Amino acid sequence: MLFFTVVVAPSVFKVLPVEWSSKYVRNFFPKYYASLGLVTLICVFTESDTTNKALLAICAALFAFTLLYLTGKINSAKDSGFTRQFHWLHGASVAINLFQLITFIYLLVKAS
């Protein structure tokens, strides 16, 4: 998550033309959310600590929410030219992703 956020996403938008970078991101994010959500869900069932399990379950639910609901709304707002709505929805997805990243870092530090 950290590598994509810090390295890949900014590079894609710097190097590729807008129409290509948009196509790439639209293709990538469903896979990103699905794969991270699946791994997180597996962790829910392998974790014994109830607090950790709850945090992982919240993160898994947020991956599902962004995959099944938020991504479609973001794409629709962008396609319709609803700039304000797009920025708000995209900001929400960034905030969710940041929450998940901080949660995972917390769980890694706690485990060591």
Give a yes or no: residue 40 inside a domain: yes
Render pLDDT for 71-112 as a digit per residue (tens, 0 to 9). 999 999 999 999 999 999 999 999 999 999 999 999 999 998
Higher pLDDT, 63 or 3: 63
Render pLDDT for 27-68 as a digit per residue (tens, 0 to 9). 999 999 999 999 999 999 999 999 999 999 999 999 999 999
Give a yes or no: residue 13 inside a domain: no
Domain coverage including residue 101? 20-111
* Long-range residue pairs from 53-57, CB within 8 A, at least 24 positions apart, any chain: 55/103, 55/106, 55/107, 56/107
pLDDT of residue 57: 98
Is the predicted pLDDT of residue 19 greater than 90, yes or no?
A: no
Is the predicted pLDDT of residue 6 greater than 90, yes or no?
A: no
Give a yes or no: residue 1 inside a domain: no
pLDDT of residue 4: 86
Give a yes or no: residue 87 inside a domain: yes
Of the candidates 28, 36, 37, 22, the one whose C-alpha atom is nearest the C-alpha of residue 75 is 22
- What value does the CA radius of gyration of the chain take, rounded to a whole number of Å? 15
Total domains in the fold of the chain: 1
Give a yes or no: residue 9 inside a domain: no
User: CB neighbours of 4 closer than 8 A, spacing ≥ 6?
Assistant: 32
What interhelical angle do 71-80 and 83-111 show, nearest 10?
A: 150
Give a yes or no: residue 33 inside a domain: yes
What letter would DSSP give residue 5? I
Give a yes or no: residue 31 inside a domain: yes
User: Which DSSP string corresponds to 49-85?
Assistant: -HHHHHHHHHHHHHHHHIIIIIHHHHHHHHHHT-HHH
Give a yes or no: residue 7 inside a domain: no
Place of tokens 């530090």: 109
